[in-house]
Each structure stands twice: as structure tokens, then as C-alpha cells.
Structure 1
């Protein structure tokens, strides 16, 4: 171990341009590490920490430290909801399709990206699908997308136009997986889902609105993963795989879907929806699906907009009536608002989408592909270096 990696207090203070007394303050405030020098009462200071503070680097790693560009013009998240390239997602959901939103996020003409569907299906797809017939749509997609990618040589075209075409194909394949098909279709994605559940135009419209509102939400955990993978130069198939792997983590909003589904089942089966909520609270659980994180302390506008549309269609449905009563109680007594994941799960149940079929992913793929394109075009970011916080070697 080179001895110059540890320096004296006087040397450290000189490098920082402060007094030794100020150095002692820095040790706690700026996380400068030190160790007692063998055989003495003096301490030696870890030079890399001194260098870091001297150049004004943050103790907390920035996004760039994770191989991710932190510059983005895709989505701005505000208390009024997300804005896709400057346009309100809440307003866009009134009229636009998820294909329109994908084209907006990808900065491409919709017709050039969503061309006539060309299957490029691997020969073993039907056999693999049969093996995975009981898997969730996310797990099934994680298993099948690499084989689908390999069947299409154009997937490796990482030009802007090529990544947009591949992005459209990824979305169509997830729609096929979601609706238990082994071929893709160029029919509007919301209509494919509505047909699968036997719904009409009103159900198709609700699915369309959900997907538009779900398309992107800035730099969430899934977007971090997508961008980190995209920076290495993989196709949108592989980038989306990263998002799929992350999004159902138990610390994410949608990773708590199982708890939300249980709550909705309890509400549906209970004569008193208030009692269903109280049972969860009495077991020490938080009310699943209720949250008020920043910037949504007053409620998530996406959830509010989607709930209003759901109510217009299913207003007298017993589950919706009971769930609305439960939401009112939680809002009044706990100051918490229904999150977007809760309204997603509620809509899925109302339209008859089977458990394990995760609909919002079909919308979120549009945002993941946008992040994939933006990150790849930003170039490779300087590889990260670990901010090691473990035990240091003994001073030499």
C-alpha cells in the first residue's frame, strides 16, 4: 500500500486551504476518513477523500457516476402531472393513442415507426409460450423477448430510425404476450387489449387513457436501469428487459401490486369497505396503493384523471362504489390519496383482465424506449467508480 494514500492533518488542511481545526469539522460533515497511525496518537487522512473534497465533488454520487446521462428532454414531472416533451400527459390522454405518444417521445413520425407488422417470430415461440402459459405477462416477456430479438436482424440497427422501429415491435410483442398470442398485429394497441377482455369501445378508450398516462414518469428505477443498459449499446429489446426486471421490485409502486389486488379482493367481498381497510391497518400494514409522495402531496393527477374516466364508465359497479368509499375514508382519516398503481389495478379488475396480466407495462414501454434512444445517442458516459465506504488498509 503506497504510503502517500494517507497524509497528515497538516498536509490535508493545506490541500483543502483550511485550518487543521476546520479539517476536523470536515471529517464529520464531508465524510473524510482517517485512521490512527500505528505506534502514535496521531491520525492519518485518506488522500482520495481529501482530493474529492478539494475538487468540490459531492459525497453522493451523481447520475453520471452510474453511467447515465442526467440530461433529458423527455418528461418533466410536476404537481400537475407529467409533461411529455412539454405537453401535459393529462391532456394528451383525452385524445391521443399510445402510438401517438410513443412517436412524440421518440421524436419520430408515427407511420415510419409503426409500420405494417412483420412478425419475425422465432420458430420455437409457440413451444416456449406453452411452457410459460401460467407465468405473468412480465415474466413471460422477460423469457421470450431475447428469442424474439434474435429472430429479427433489424433489431440490431441502432440508428434513430432503427431503434424507433424496434421500439414499435417491442410494444406489439408485449401486447401479444399480454393477450396470449404468438403473432403481432398492427391493430391499435388499446383495441387489441379491449378485444382480449371482450370489451367494447368504452373499455378500449379506458385502456388507451391508462397507457398514455403510464408512458413515462421521468427517472424512476426502471428508467435508471434502462438507461444504464442502453449506454452499452444494446437494442431496445434488451433495454426494456432491464426495465421489466426492475419494475416489480417490492420497493416500487407497481411492485406492490399483489398487496393492492388483495385489498381490492377484500373490498369486493366485504359488506363494509371501511372494515376491509381497517383489517389491513390492524395487521400493521399500510393501506396498499395509497400514497402521497412528492410532488403529489395533494394526489397524483394521473390517478385522479383515470379514476374520473373509470367512474364515467363503471359508475354503478359494486366494486367501484365500495372502492370509492374506501378511498374517501383513507383520504379523510389518513391524509393519503389513491396512487396510480391502485387505479390501474382497479381498472384491470373492472374490465376483467386476469391477474398476472400487467397492462400498464404496455404504455411504459414507450417511455423506456425513449430513454433507451436518448441515452444511446448521448454516448458512453465515463464508467463509474465505487464510493468505497468500508475499512481502509492500515497506514504504511
Structure 2
């Protein structure tokens, strides 16, 4: 061990290897992966390492080694879920989304502050590129198809996308969300350019119905409630991408790729179709019976993280009661839950069922809930990418449990 001229302790390769409990070659592997920094030793012929950095890596390695096998645990300060409630940075998420618009909820998750009156603006060049890319897709393209293409197009025109500093990532995030919304085709009247709220810009891309203030408030609440929900499958994909130091656009693309899976993003679409059928047939019992007879799961009910009702659903249902046009769909949703309760299933409404009430009652297509979810969650994915950029790179590298034939095997 020697002292650096700047006052920091330096370790030789052998000393660092002993402290880490690895071979010297592994120390250099840590350097190549960005987990350690090295400096050529001016006295000897090898490299030297900052002692504090080596000790910190040794502590992390010991903690990870002590974790139960197969247990992937990710440190986060963003969302806590416990006792049938969830919190953004320690603040009740339902209360936060009920009192602040989506943009300010996103800022709270990103920075821990709420700049009042926050608005997001799409850069003209990025928006034009995203619209050209989306317009080139076939008509049958789904909402996630369009958003994935829009993200890729926006990334190409952002020369700062590889800058992973917090300031640069936040700048990209504030431009990406409105670019995604602005790239989607308009179904109704063009939104008023003077209103930069995400909900107002998204509305005419979800329905041809004219917006009313109460319905817009419900949409804005839904966006705020869906910003983040701990480590859902799509969020974990974002963390893995960010761990490899993918830029924020690529990290969001990873989340959208997982969201397109039928077990993650399609739930709102299924709930929408079920509610439509209940309204057409005049009752929930025959519809639920057909689902059960076919061995299919009734959509919009139950959540593995909540024993009772999903708090996001409860908040949306409360707000939807104030919408005259939502009365029919709201009644249908409650009837579905009541029928299932009589079956003793113990499943209560989740946010997908509440979103379906909004989309059905406002004349939106079945995929509208998926669009709302993807736009809202983009802000949460960025927040998780920001956190992951502060961790050591490539830390999410589980080991496979090989089940194949043992070597040596004959050459095929």
C-alpha cells in the first residue's frame, strides 16, 4: 500500500485482489467493466487502485453474495408498495396524483421537487422525425408499435442522447414524453397548441369526442397514478438496459418492448372488451360465466401486490363517479366485481378495470388504455434509468443454471 500525492491511499494489484478475494486477472476485469478505475504506478511497473473505491466494491460484492440464490433485489428510492398503498418518494401516490398534474408528478419522481406549472415541449425536429416514422407504418399498427418507432426516431435526432448526466437525461425526458404523444395520429380535433398539458395533448389521440374538463381531469389523474409501480416487468427491462449504459431512449424502448407482451400491456384492452360486452348483453353474469367456462381469467380483477382493491382503481372510480357519461360503464365494472365476489374468488378491481371504464365511457378504442399506460410509465422508466446510471455498470448479470448435456460431447 502507498499514499498518493493527493492524499488518497493507493493499492497495488495484488493488494486489491486480496481485499476483493479474487485473482489479479479479475481485478483487471473489474476495470474493463467500469467497476474500478486504475492508474499506472509511477514507481513500479503495474497499476494502482484507489483504496476507498476497492473497499466500496468489496462491500457491494459481499452484500450481493449474501443475497438468497435467485433473489434479484434492486435498490430504489422511487416507489414503495406496502399495506395496500403505494408511495412516490415517501409521499402517498394517490394523494400526489390527485392534487398535482402529471407533469409535476413526473418531476417529483425525477428530482424530488415540484416546479409548479411544469410543462413539457417537443422539439420541432424530433417531433417531425417521429411523425414521419409513425406515418410510414401500416394502418393496422398498434399503439406500442407507433411509440417504439417514435422513440427510435427521436433518439436519432438527439445528439446528446449518449450524455448520461442527470441534467442531460432530464432534458431528454422532458422532450421525449410530448414527442411520443405528438407523434400519435389525431382522431378528433387538433389540440389547442396553447395548452401544454400532456392529458390535453393526448385526448384527441384517444377519442374523437370533444373533451370536457372533468373527463380531462380523470385522464390526467390516470397518467399521474400510472407513472411508476416499483419493478414491473417493463421497468426491470429498463433497469437492465440502463445497467449496460444504454441511453435513455434505448432504455425506454426496452420498456416498450416488454409492455407489448400480452401478459403486461394487453390487460387494459381485454378489460375494455369485456366491459363493452357486458353493456351490450345487459348484465355481467353471462359474460363472466363464459370466461369461467372457457377457463379464462376475468380481466381487470386482482393484483399480486394488493390484498384489497388496487388503490389506483379506487381513486379512478371515485373520480369517474363525477362523469355523467361514465355511469353505464362504471355500473358494469362494479357488477363484474360483484359477480366474482359471489364466486368467492376474493379478487377486487385493479387499475385496468378502472381504465376500461374511462376508455369505454369516452368513446376510446380498446387499445387506448395501453396508450395511456405507456405514455404515463415513460416518466417512471426515465426515473429508474436515472437511478441505475448511479449504480455500478453491468451489475444485473445473473448466472444461468446450465441444464444441458455435460461436456465433453462428440463433435456433431
TM-score by length of 1: 0.76
C-alpha separation between the residues in 2 aligned to 1:343 and 1:258?
12
Trace 1:204-219 onto structure 2 (pairs within 5 A): 204-219=216-231
Q: What's the offset of the Cα at 1:226?
A: 0.3
Match of 2:53 in 1: none
**Corresponding residue SS for 1:275:** helix
Q: What's the offset of the Cα at 1:354?
A: 2.5
Q: What's the offset of the Cα at 1:115?
A: 5.8
C-alpha separation between the residues in 2 aligned to 1:299 and 1:123?
42
Cα 1:192/1:112, change in 2 over 3 Å: closer
Cα 1:124/1:366, change in 2 over 3 Å: closer
Q: What's the offset of the Cα at 1:336?
A: 1.0
Match of 1:192 in 2: 201
Say which of 118, 127, 137 aligns to 2:123: 118
Say which of 308, 324, 329 aligns to 1:298: 308
Greater displacement, 243-252 / 194-203: 194-203
Cα 1:368/1:337, change in 2 over 3 Å: same
**Corresponding residue SS for 1:154:** coil
Match of 1:313 in 2: 323
Would you say 1:273 and 2:280 are equivalent positions?
no
Match of 2:83 in 1: 79
Cα 1:179/1:111, change in 2 over 3 Å: farther
C-alpha separation between the residues in 2 aligned to 1:320 and 1:349?
9
Matched residues, number = 335
Match of 2:402 in 1: 389
C-alpha separation between the residues in 1 aligned to 2:158 and 2:407?
55
Match of 1:262 in 2: 273
Cα 1:147/1:287, change in 2 over 3 Å: same
C-alpha separation between the residues in 1 aligned to 2:128 and 2:310?
44
Cα contact 1:120–1:152 (8 A) shared by 2? no
Cα 1:112/1:372, change in 2 over 3 Å: farther
**Corresponding residue SS for 2:80:** strand
Cα 1:112/1:374, change in 2 over 3 Å: farther
C-alpha separation between the residues in 2 aligned to 1:159 and 1:249?
31
Match of 1:142 in 2: 148
Deviations along 1:221-251, one digit per CA (max 9) or x if unpaired, are: 1111001101222222111111111123223
Q: What's the offset of the Cα at 1:127?
A: 4.1
C-alpha separation between the residues in 2 aligned to 1:143 and 1:183?
22
Cα 1:380/1:278, change in 2 over 3 Å: same
Trace 1:355-394 onto structure 2 (pairs within 5 A): 355-357=366-368, 358-382=371-395, 384-391=397-404, 393=406
Deviations along 1:156-183, one digit per CA (max 9) or x if unpaired, are: 3321111111111121122213454999
Gaps of 5+ in 1: 1-54, 64-69
Q: What's the offset of the Cα at 1:332?
A: 3.4
Q: What's the offset of the Cα at 1:97?
A: 0.9
C-alpha separation between the residues in 2 aligned to 1:152 and 1:183?
25
Say which of 342, 345, 350 aligns to 1:332: 342
Cα contact 2:238–2:252 (8 A) shared by 1? yes
Match of 2:179 in 1: 173
Cα contact 1:75–1:217 (8 A) shared by 2? yes
CA RMSD of aligned residues (A): 2.9
Greater displacement, 129-138 / 72-81: 129-138
Cα contact 2:320–2:326 (8 A) shared by 1? no
Match of 2:6 in 1: none
Larger RCO of the pair (alpha carbons < 8 Å, separation 6+): 1
Match of 1:157 in 2: 163
Cα contact 1:81–1:301 (8 A) shared by 2? yes
Cα contact 2:127–2:182 (8 A) shared by 1? no
